[in-house]
A and B are shown apart, each in its own frame.
Chain A
Amino acid sequence: NAGVTQTPKFRILKIGQSMTLQCTQDMNHNYMYWYRQDPGMGLKLIYYSVGAGITDKGEVPNGYNVSRSTTEDFPLRLELAAPSQTSVYFCASSSGISNQPQHFGDGTRLSIL
């Protein structure tokens, strides 16, 4: 029962570097999401996708990009990493976009130094 798998689990980047956070799900869910979680704050939605080829911005999209070429994969790209992007990033998926629970991966812990 893999569910939602995120890689890497940990990463340290230097300011200005770029990287891609990987997310894949095996539940055949059309809907996928990226959140960030900062200490003392609730999870914030970065981007979401309603299906392959369709993505849209969430609450805090600046500094990030996404793509969705397959149902299974939803990578998140950081361009020109900044210290403010130090956070824990969670990918989630759901079977519907309304009223359906979202199922989360175990996160990528990212530090930008």
Chain B
Amino acid sequence: EDQVTQSPEALRLQEGESSSLNCSYTVSGLRGLFWYRQDPGKGPEFLFTLYSAGEEKEKERLKATLTKKESFLHITAPKPEDSATYLCAVQGYGSSNTGKLIFGQGTTLQVKP
């Protein structure tokens, strides 16, 4: 069964203190791994798609990496405005004709000034 587990559930950082969020996944053939940011009271906002092990994507202070079993979202020198819940989702080959994404529970990041 396809599964996604994110850790930690919550993370508190001081402004400028770099860290990483983890997304471990089990899927029968990975079509794509997606990272989203969700602010309170809002819908998920798309950040990155990763397709194959070794791939990396960057956007401002965020960098996403992918291995065969997990993905990391590295946050370099975070600012308070990076505070949000970060969601990871995967799509397997078995779901490629339904569009179904399997979401993790998310990591809630708080960055203190």
Contact = CB atoms under 8 A, between A and B. Distances in A.
A binds B: yes
Contact of B44 (A50, A98, A99, A104): A104
B11 to A, nearest CB: 16
Nearest to B96: A98
A47 B2 CA distance: 18
Given A42-B106, A90-B43, A103-B46, A48 B51 contact: no
A61 interface: no
B45 A33 contact: no
B19 to A, nearest CB: 22
Contacts of B42: 106-107
Contact of B43 (A40, A45, A97, A106): A106
Nearest to A105: B43
Given A42-B106, A104-B44, A58 B49 contact: no
Nearest to B32: A99
Most buried by A among B4, B32, B101, B104: B101
B69 to A, nearest CB: 18
- Per CB-CB distance, the 6 closest pairs between chain A and chain B, nearest first, are A42-B103, A104-B43, A98-B96, A97-B99, A101-B46, A43-B103
23 contacts: A4-B43, A33-B99, A41-B105, A42-B4, A42-B87, A42-B89, A42-B102, A43-B44, A43-B101, A45-B98, A48-B98, A48-B99, A56-B98, A90-B44, A97-B99, A98-B31, A98-B91, A98-B97, A101-B46, A101-B49, A102-B101, A103-B46, A106-B41
Interface of B: 4, 31-32, 34, 36, 41-46, 49, 51, 87, 89, 91, 96-106
